[in-house]
Amino acid sequence: MNPTVNDIQLFLHNIAPNHFQESYDNSGLLVGNTGDEVRGIVVCLDSTEAVIDEAISLGANMVVAHHPIIFSGLKRITGRNYIENIVRKAIKNDINIFAIHTNLDNVYQNGVSTHIANKIGLKNIEILQKKEISYEDLPTGSGVIGQLNTPVDEMEFLQFLKSTMETDCVRYTNLLGKSIQNVALCGGSGRFLLEEAIRQEADIYISADFKYHEFFDANDKILIADIGHYESEQFTIQMLHRILTNKFNTFATHYTKVNTNPVNYL
């Protein structure tokens, strides 16, 4: 017998406990039945309608997404918007939707930001802004900071970042005329950690979703590199796929072939 949805849920919550999520978040099982036997999983960032269709075509009955499709309460499900359409389709086709969002952001081991740091080759990686969450002494918090093996020219590092993170656009502040070695970063929307990155004397802060006026907050103290929300988190799909595949081998785990990035670049 294959594991149940609850088995998958318990395993993922062991990696990133659900109570580690931020108060505004809505991680966990959003659509489905904990007792369902899992026939296959599709891993994605966003559980769009195309991803639900993909799961159906693959014979998978569970979607594990980073971003929750439901953030606030639904008072009716009548297909008025894309969220309601996705929920209706998932229910009609017995697709379970599970989200592991800011709880995965807030853990160090197998965390979103740690995964990015490893991908760009940082060492001595530590949590940027630690949080006091009591759970078996797991290190928790937002973002990470680490060092490159050797200092790198600013533009050279930005080019490396663009290539390694597979992004079509890097928005950055004025170059400061110094090398990059201390690197702070946060997957997704990370403006709230900028002052902490400056306080810890990072040379660059990598994140996403900076507004126009927020770039001025660098104030010639740090280089900001905004690599895009989807682009900063896209490799979370591979990480979750690896974690699930290493644990469960009685069904297929797929990472989506659907690019769910709602932003296009010309």
* pLDDT tens per residue, range 30-63: 999 999 999 999 999 999 999 999 999 999 999 9
pTM for the model stands at 0.96
End-to-end CA distance of the chain: 49
| Alpha-carbon gap, residue 154 to 175, rounded angstroms | 7
Q: Is 246 or 138 the better-scoring residue by pLDDT?
A: 246
Rounded to an integer, what distance in angstroms lies between the CA atom of residue 207 and that of residue 1? Answer: 42
**∠ CA(91), CA(94), CA(95), 5° rounding?**
85
Amino acid at position 195, single letter: E
Whether the predicted pLDDT of 113 surpasses 80: yes
Q: What per-residue confidence (pLDDT) applies to 136? A: 60
pLDDT at 79 over 90: no
According to the model, what pLDDT value does residue 137 have? 67
Q: Which residues of 40-71 are buried (b: 16+ CB within 10 A; e: fewer)?
A: bbbbbbbbbbbbbebbbebebbbbbbbbbbbe
Residue 21's CB is within 10 A of a number of other CB atoms, namely 21
- Going by pLDDT thresholds of 50, 70 and 90, the confidence category of residue 72 is confident
